[in-house]
């Protein structure tokens, strides 16, 4: 019996990294999101940063969510989304948000030299606008929750093949249906 237990444990230890491979390497950070939030509470004091969008330099404001820097409006959207997810028992954690130009350069060079993940040209990563978030998908249900609900909070998947990469676009406007309202007024 004891041997069996040891075998099962040994099996799990060996199997864990193999199972992990089925997920993206990028999502397998080895951190427990619950610990990270306890250790890195949000800091909502806006700070000035230089961002980029489509090669154009922008002045942006970022706040800190967990350990990631995130553009302010994006952070608002994310916090609302995170609350809704938490109410459904799903914890959302950003492991990569805003990237500085320097950081993007390093990532790009690493990729070009053949030892880093694929990275966009400096100035052209949507992470440089502060509006792109890589969200941890390592626990069951997170990906499904996002696919079902993220658009209500203004988040869209924008990179095919990267289910963890979500970008903030303005939340959808409430359908005001102007023509109808006018007609109703005319009637009344």
The nearest distance, CB 162 to Zn ion, in angstroms, is: 6
Residue 89 or 160 having the CB closest to Zn ion: 160
Token look-up 């007024």 returns: 185
Residue 95 or 145 having the CB closest to Zn ion: 95
The nearest distance, CB 106 to Zn ion, in angstroms, is: 15
Per-residue CA distances from 16 to 8, 71, 182 (Å):
12, 35, 61
Please say whether the beta carbons of 31 and 59 come within 8 A.
Answer: no
The nearest distance, CB 131 to Zn ion, in angstroms, is: 11
The nearest distance, CB 132 to Zn ion, in angstroms, is: 5
Residue 118 or 183 having the CB closest to Zn ion: 118
Q: What are the residues binding Zn ion (CB under 5 A)?
A: 134, 165
The nearest distance, CB 120 to Zn ion, in angstroms, is: 9
Residue number of the CB closest to Zn ion reads: 165
Residue 52: partners with Cβ closer than 8 Å, 6 or more residues away:
58, 101, 104, 122, 123, 124, 125, 128, 129
The closest alpha carbon to 166, from 146, 140, 186, belongs to: 146
* Nearest-angstrom CA–CA distance, 63 and 97: 10
Residue 118 or 182 having the CB closest to Zn ion: 118
Residue 160 or 188 having the CB closest to Zn ion: 160
Residue 81: partners with Cβ closer than 8 Å, 6 or more residues away:
92, 149, 150, 152, 153, 155
The nearest distance, CB 60 to Zn ion, in angstroms, is: 17
Token look-up 């940063």 returns: 49
Q: Tell me the β-bridge partners of 132.
A: 167
Residue 71 or 134 having the CB closest to Zn ion: 134
């Amino acid at each position: 019996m004891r041997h069996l237990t040891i075998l099962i444990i040994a099996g799990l230890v060996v199997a864990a990294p193999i199972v992990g491979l089925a997920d993206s390497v990028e999502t397998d950070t080895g951190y427990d999101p619950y610990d990270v939030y306890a250790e890195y509470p949000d800091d909502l004091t806006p700070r000035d940063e230089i961002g980029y969008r489509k090669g154009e330099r922008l002045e942006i404001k970022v706040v800190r969510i967990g350990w990631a820097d995130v553009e302010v409006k994006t952070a608002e959207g994310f916090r609302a989304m995170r609350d809704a997810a938490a109410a459904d028992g799903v914890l959302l954690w950003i492991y990569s948000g805003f990237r500085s130009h320097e950081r993007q350069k390093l990532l790009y060079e690493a990729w070009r030299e053949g030892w880093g993940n694929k990275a966009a040209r400096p100035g052209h990563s949507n992470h440089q606008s502060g509006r792109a978030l890589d969200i941890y998908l390592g626990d069951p249900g997170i990906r499904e929750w996002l696919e079902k609900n993220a658009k209500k909070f203004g988040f869209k998947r924008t990179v095919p093949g990267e289910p963890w990469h979500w970008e903030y676009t303005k939340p959808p406007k409430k359908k005001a249906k102007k023509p109808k309202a006018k007609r109703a007024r005319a009637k009344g």
